[in-house]
């Protein structure tokens, strides 16, 4: 069994880390989050579904992909954003992984 | 109260609200169903979101809902003869960052239910427009403002507090534009009056 190295104030490690990742990324989809968090896709999907039921995240469909973000209509949205920002500070590894993700546009057909 | 395939959203909402009240479960109707009531049916919704504003148990909720014929299926309650379904999204009852919401009571021969006021229902739809750029929610907010008494000063104050003064200005333009359009349509043409 893995030893916990950081706290999980949102009820579970994957739930907490998914929220942190969404705070850093703005929005994301389950497969990207699973890659980023090195967690099983099914676990991330479950975590997102429970966060959605709690009203902390919301998703919209983009083609066949469900894109998640922290629910901006959540009554404590500003406080939650600040709390997550603080929680993300010591997560150097997660921040480095997020920083390594390419999010800017790439012209169609341009070689890699 | 027997619900049938012909029961309207309003009738079902009041029946469910009444059942919850009889079982001591405080809940407020929000979301699309509430908007549908305030637009007097101009906007249709099939799901009824009741936010629980007090503690209860799953068993108690099941019993209350069963008393009007609804059975739990996953996260929602369905009725064999009614097209509408009921969900209980987690609270708190809030619109954006405002959680001091005063619901209003709607009564009818089918029962009575606590629902968002027209002003709060309008704000609820506007929140979706502001935060998700959802134009259909803007249309519904406009429809509520045109068909029910909405305190625009309250909506304006809240919009500014949420950081969406420009969004409110757009909402107001839409309200005025739609109001003028409706007046023009309802005004008889000069040729018709001359006859």
Specify whether the CB–CB gap between B37 and B9 falls below 8 A. yes
Q: Which of B69, B97, B98, B72 is nearest to B81 (CA)?
A: B69
Portion of chain B with pLDDT greater than 70, in percent: 95
Q: Model confidence at B195, in pLDDT bands (50, 70, 90)? A: very low
Contact B97 A53 (CB under 8 A): no
- Listed by number, the residues of chain A in 23-52 with a beta carbon closer than 8 Å to a beta carbon of chain B are none
Using an 8 Å CB-CB cutoff, list chain B residues near A72. Answer: 131-132
Residue A109 domain-assigned? Answer: no
Using an 8 Å CB-CB cutoff, list chain A residues near B75. Answer: 53
Question: A11 — contact with chain B (CB < 8 Å)?
Answer: no
What is chain A's mean pLDDT, rounded? 91
Q: Model confidence at B89, in pLDDT bands (50, 70, 90)? A: very high
pLDDT tens-digit series, residues B26-85: 999 999 999 999 999 889 889 999 999 989 999 999 999 999 999 999 989 999 999 999
Q: What is the total count of domains within chain A? A: 1
* Predicted pLDDT of residue A1: 61
Residue A110 domain-assigned? Answer: no
Q: Given a cut of 80, is residue A15 above it in pLDDT?
A: yes
Contact B97 A60 (CB under 8 A): no
Q: Given a cut of 90, is residue B148 above it in pLDDT?
A: yes
Q: Given a cut of 90, is residue B87 above it in pLDDT?
A: yes
Q: Given a cut of 70, is residue B190 above it in pLDDT?
A: no
Q: Summarize the confidence of residues A63-67 as an average pLDDT.
A: 95
Specify whether the CB–CB gap between A33 and A47 falls below 8 A. no
Two structure tokens written together for B147: 């068909």
Q: Given a cut of 50, is residue B23 above it in pLDDT?
A: yes
pLDDT tens-digit series, residues A18-44: 999 999 999 999 999 999 999 999 999
Residue A72 Cα, gap to closest chain B Cα (Å) = 6
Q: Given a cut of 80, is residue A16 above it in pLDDT?
A: yes
Residue A56 domain-assigned? Answer: yes
Q: Given a cut of 80, is residue A10 above it in pLDDT?
A: yes
Residue A106 domain-assigned? Answer: no
Residue A107 domain-assigned? Answer: no
Contact B97 A75 (CB under 8 A): yes
- Listed by number, the residues of chain B in 100-129 with a beta carbon closer than 8 Å to a beta carbon of chain A are 127-128
| Domain range enclosing A81 | 5-96
Among B89, B94, B131, the residue with its CB nearest the CB of A75 is: B94
Residue A71 Cα, gap to closest chain B Cα (Å) = 9
Residue A103 domain-assigned? Answer: no
The 10 Å CB-count burial string (b at 16+, else e) for B93-108 is: bbbbbbeebebeebee
Contact A54 B96 (CB under 8 A): no
Residue A26 domain-assigned? Answer: yes
* Predicted pLDDT of residue B189: 61
Residue A84: CATH number of its domain = 1.10.10.10
Residue A30 domain-assigned? Answer: yes
Q: Given a cut of 90, is residue A9 above it in pLDDT?
A: no
Task: Indicate if ipTM > 0.90.
Answer: no
Question: B55 — contact with chain A (CB < 8 Å)?
Answer: no
Collapsing DSSP states into helix, strand and coil, what is residue B51?
A: strand
3-class DSSP string for B29-49: EEHHHHHHHHCCCCCCCCEEE
Q: B181 versus B54: which is more confidently predicted?
A: B54
CB pairs under 8 A between A and B: 26
Among B90, B95, B127, the residue with its CB nearest the CB of A54 is: B90
Q: Given a cut of 50, is residue B194 above it in pLDDT?
A: no
Q: Which residue of B has its CA nearest to A55?
A: B90
- Listed by number, the residues of chain A in 60-79 with a beta carbon closer than 8 Å to a beta carbon of chain B are 60, 72-73, 75-78
Name the E strands within A21-107: 27-28, 57-62, 65-70
Q: Given a cut of 80, is residue B192 above it in pLDDT?
A: no
């Amino acid at each position: 069994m893995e030893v916990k190295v950081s706290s999980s104030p949102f009820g579970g490690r994957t739930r907490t880390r998914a929220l942190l990742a969404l705070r850093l990324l703005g929005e994301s989809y389950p497969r990207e989050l699973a890659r980023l968090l090195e967690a099983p896709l099914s676990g991330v999907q479950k975590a997102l579904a429970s966060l959605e039921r709690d009203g902390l995240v919301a998703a919209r469909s983009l083609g066949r992909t469900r894109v998640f973000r922290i629910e901006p209509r959540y009554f404590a949205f500003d406080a939650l954003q600040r709390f997550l920002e603080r929680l993300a500070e010591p997560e150097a590894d997660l921040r480095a992984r997020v920083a390594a993700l390419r999010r800017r546009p790439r012209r169609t057909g341009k070689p890699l | 109260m027997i619900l049938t395939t012909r029961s309207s959203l309003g009738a079902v909402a009041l029946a469910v609200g009444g059942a919850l009240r009889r079982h001591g479960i405080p809940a407020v109707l929000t979301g699309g169903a509430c908007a549908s009531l305030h637009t007097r049916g101009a906007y249709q919704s099939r799901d009824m979101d009741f936010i629980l504003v007090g503690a209860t148990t799953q068993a108690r909720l099941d019993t209350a809902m069963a008393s009007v014929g609804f059975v739990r299926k996953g996260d929602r309650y369905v009725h064999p003869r009614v097209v509408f379904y009921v969900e209980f999204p987690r609270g708190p009852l809030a619109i954006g960052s405002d959680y001091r919401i005063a619901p209003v009571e709607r009564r009818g021969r089918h029962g009575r239910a606590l629902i968002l006021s027209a002003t709060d229902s309008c704000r609820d739809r506007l929140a979706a427009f502001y935060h998700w750029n959802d134009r259909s929610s803007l249309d519904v907010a406009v429809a509520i403002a045109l068909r029910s008494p909405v305190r625009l000063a309250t909506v304006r104050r809240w919009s500014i507090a949420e950081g969406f003064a420009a969004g409110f200005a757009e909402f107001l333009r839409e309200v005025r534009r739609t109001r003028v359009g409706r007046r023009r349509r309802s005004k008889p043409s000069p040729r018709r009056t001359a006859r």
